[in-house]
Amino acid sequence: AAPGGPSLPSLVFAPKFAAMWLMILGSAVGGLNVAGSYKTFGLKQPQLNSDSFLTVVGALSAIFGNAAGRFFFGALSDAIGFKASFVPLTLLQGTTLLSFPALAASRLTFLLATVAMLFCMGGTFALFPAQAMRVYGASGASVYSIMFTAFGSAALLGPIASNALLQRGGYPLVFSVLGLCSFGSAALTLASQ
């Protein structure tokens, strides 16, 4: 925390921090899940079952998805603000997740959906450090260092929840729940100051 300012514990045990942490969790869980499982999912789809194709999907998603999303949403947030950037990101991500099984019907739509998901994931990673600095000022870096645990939680809890959901309803249930998490982040963002 900044000298003479509120203590770090008082900042992280506050509703504003909790809201931002949950926004990250709800958004990151979908992007990280697709980044970690697109190939496993693709290998189970007859029309996508090609290691070389799925490798190309990964490469294009890393460049035009994750990397481009960081630059795009970072610049967009600087121009129009956090909320006006993050809400469309989460709506795009949620819609893509709900449509992901249908978009897997062809190689082109699967490629575009996977790139879109990593584009949103990269955007989520880019938006929150700057927002933490805007919200918390001189304490922003310290607060963000703890806020970043939401990404780790999403990376840990996402696969656990996905495996449980796969057993209950297969991939359509997994992608539906992840999509609803993204929409929850959008709603929480709209409800926040």
Q: What pLDDT, in 10s, does the model give residues 82-139? A: 999 999 999 999 999 999 999 999 999 999 999 999 999 999 999 999 999 999 999 9
pLDDT at 5 > cutoff 90: no
The two tokens of residue 80 are 């129009």
* pTM given for the model: 0.93
State whether residue 46 is helix, strand or coil: coil
> What one-letter code names the amino acid at 149?
T
Rg (CA), the chain: 17
Distance CA 112, CA 57 (A): 9
User: What are the counts of helices (DSSP H) followed by strands (DSSP E) for the chain?
Assistant: 8, 0
How would you class 100 by CB atoms within 10 Å of its CB: exposed for 0-12, middle for 13-18, buried for 19 or more? buried
What average pLDDT does the chain have? 96
